A = this chain, B = another copy of it.
Amino acid sequence: MSRSSAVAGLARAWFLALPLLLAATVADAAKVTLDKSNWGLEVGKDCVSCHQKSSAGLAKQWEDSAHAKAGVNCMDCHKAEPADADAITHEGHVIATVVSPKDCGRCHTTEYEEQKGSVHAEAVSLIAAKIPALGHNVGGPAMEAAGCAQCHGSVVKVRGDGTLDPATWPNSGIGRINPDGSKGSCSSCHGRHRFSKAQAREPTACVRCHFGPDSPDKEIYEASKHGMLYASQRDEMNLNAETWVAGKDYTAAPTCVTCHMGAAGKLPATHDVGMRNMWSLNTPVSQRQHLVVLEDGDKLELPESVEPPKRGAELDKGDGTVGKVKAVATPQRRREAMSTVCLECHAKPFVTNFMRQFDDVVELFNEKFGKPATAMMDELYAAGLLTPVPFDEPIEFTYWELWHDEGARARHGASMGSPNHAWWEGMYLVGRNFYSRFLPEVRTVAGQARGDEIIARHLADVAGHAWLKAPQRGNPILGYRPPSPVAEATPATPAAPGATP
């Protein structure tokens, strides 16, 4: 090993411990000895013989699974105790329809523990405060079942007769609250009833939720170099390999799993999908985030501006309970974990510079648009110029989409290398909507004079808006050809920049 790679090796070593540290809570949950004494319930064979007739496709999916090959059958997963909240009697057997991560975790212990503390598992609580205004008011109750909850997860409700409430199931949302209290749904990514490893490693495993205006990760990936290489070299992805280490088991292209969950070099794989993300990107203003691991395996995120808590400190978990700090991964450590993956296929300067380009886009959004727009909204609410009811005034939609839609696309696009999403579907629309909709709406809400004053005050110190007051110049792209020099000496100033009457 040359000297410089030795140094690089040392430099890497300290943050390679991150995932191991974070995974340490599951030391006692090492994979149980997997032998047939733990499964293969005799009674399960009855299920199969009947379902081969009544739902042949479902049965065949299982037959093609690793489960079937290992002798795991229907009853090993669906068996329930009579006291279980969702136990029903079906053909003389006590079963539950919903198979929860806790059920899967009886064998897949490590994956269960990692998933349990992840941002995915908290997907229901993450949007709880948004449901009333969005899912219910702007949409309607039916949308919670068919919309929000299909990705974030429902709170599965068992009806008096033991059947499942259609308002809450079918559902395979990633943070589903199951009747047994566990959170999540393994089949969200590992499609029933084959539960394939290979399938979940495909980029399409994530598209049901990471698609569309606010998180077009599917489209961004497709439009990136990574997606381009995957599309052409999928046959060489070795997707069904037992281990799936980037740079070793495959090099054709990375998928979502590669960067966010996959093993690379000495970095181990994880089912905690958010661990390697330094920034909060789907917020009005992005922040670098500490990841705080608690003794019980739960995790919290704290902005970098907050002093990271010491080991053993007690923190409010937000649900009324208190957790004890076990470890903290700083934003920098999270970034380095992610970069470890990049380094399998890119040299260090490439990775450093790429991350800098990404960070610069996030900072641009924060300073030029996110902070001033949020401050103006705060002022309009505080001054009673907007009702406190969300979404009864047009500007509230404009502001919401500014950061939740186009602002998220700009930041996601930059993070994953799609120039189209970073710019045309991202920051270009942020700028367009800020200048041609949000500012005019501020004037509409506050009245022209007061609106002008509010805007001027909030934009005064933001360098990115100085062009509005710059000496007026023509630009060929809009067909403007400057009038005669005389006319230009006394330019017409029909309206304040950015104004609409």
What string of 1s and 0s marks CB contacts (under 8 Å) between A439-465 and chain B? 010001100000000000000000010
B382 touches A483 (CB 8 A): yes
B357 touches A146 (CB 8 A): yes
Among all A-B residue pairs, the 6 with the closest Cβ atoms:
A384-B492, A147-B423, A150-B419, A138-B431, A56-B247, A142-B360
A436 to chain B, nearest CB (A): 4
* A145 in contact with B357 given A388-B473, A388-B474, A389-B470 (CB within 8 Å): yes
Interface size on A (CB < 8 Å)?
169
B467 touches A136 (CB 8 A): yes
Apart from A58-B345, A146-B357, A166-B357, 16 more pairs, CB < 8 Å? A57-B345, A132-B475, A133-B477, A139-B427, A140-B368, A143-B361, A146-B358, A147-B424, A170-B354, A198-B232, A202-B228, A218-B223, A384-B487, A387-B492, A393-B499, A396-B478
* Interface-facing stretch out of A34-42, A207-215, A273-281: A207-215
B213 touches A424 (CB 8 A): yes
The answer to whether A107 has its CB under 8 Å from any CB of chain B is no
A432 to chain B, nearest CB (A): 5
A207 touches B232 (CB 8 A): no
A361 to chain B, nearest CB (A): 5
B346 touches A265 (CB 8 A): no
B384 touches A422 (CB 8 A): no
B477 touches A428 (CB 8 A): no
Number of copies: 3
* A169 contacts across to B, CB distance below 8 A: 353
Residue of B nearest to A12 (CB): B54
* A419 contacts across to B, CB distance below 8 A: 146-151, 208-209
The answer to whether A377 has its CB under 8 Å from any CB of chain B is yes
* A392 contacts across to B, CB distance below 8 A: 435, 468, 497-498
What string of 1s and 0s marks CB contacts (under 8 Å) between A356-392 and chain B? 1110110110001000001001100111111111111
* A166 contacts across to B, CB distance below 8 A: 352-353, 356-357, 360
Residue of B nearest to A222 (CB): B207
What string of 1s and 0s marks CB contacts (under 8 Å) between A38-79 and chain B? 000000000000100111111011001000000000000000
Question: Which of B57, B199, B430 interacts with A251 by CB under 8 Å?
Answer: B57
A477 touches B139 (CB 8 A): no
B494 touches A385 (CB 8 A): yes
A248 to B57, CA, bound (A): 7
Residue of B nearest to A478 (CB): B390
A5 to B135, CA, bound (A): 39
A414 to chain B, nearest CB (A): 4
Residue of B nearest to A173 (CB): B419
B208 touches A1 (CB 8 A): no
The answer to whether A91 has its CB under 8 Å from any CB of chain B is yes
B212 touches A385 (CB 8 A): no
A427 to B150, CA, bound (A): 14
* A322 contacts across to B, CB distance below 8 A: none
A501 to B447, CA, bound (A): 10
A481 to B377, CA, bound (A): 11
A134 to B476, CA, bound (A): 12
B423 touches A129 (CB 8 A): no
B387 touches A497 (CB 8 A): yes
* A352 contacts across to B, CB distance below 8 A: 166
Residue of B nearest to A46 (CB): B2
A261 to B50, CA, bound (A): 26
Residue of B nearest to A51 (CB): B347
Please name 7 pairs of A and B residues whose Cβ atoms are closer than 8 Å in the assembled complex, sorted by A: A58-B344, A61-B345, A202-B228, A211-B222, A387-B493, A389-B473, A392-B468
B361 touches A480 (CB 8 A): no
* A5 contacts across to B, CB distance below 8 A: 50, 53-54
What string of 1s and 0s marks CB contacts (under 8 Å) between A251-275 and chain B? 1100000000000010000000000
A347 to B74, CA, bound (A): 13
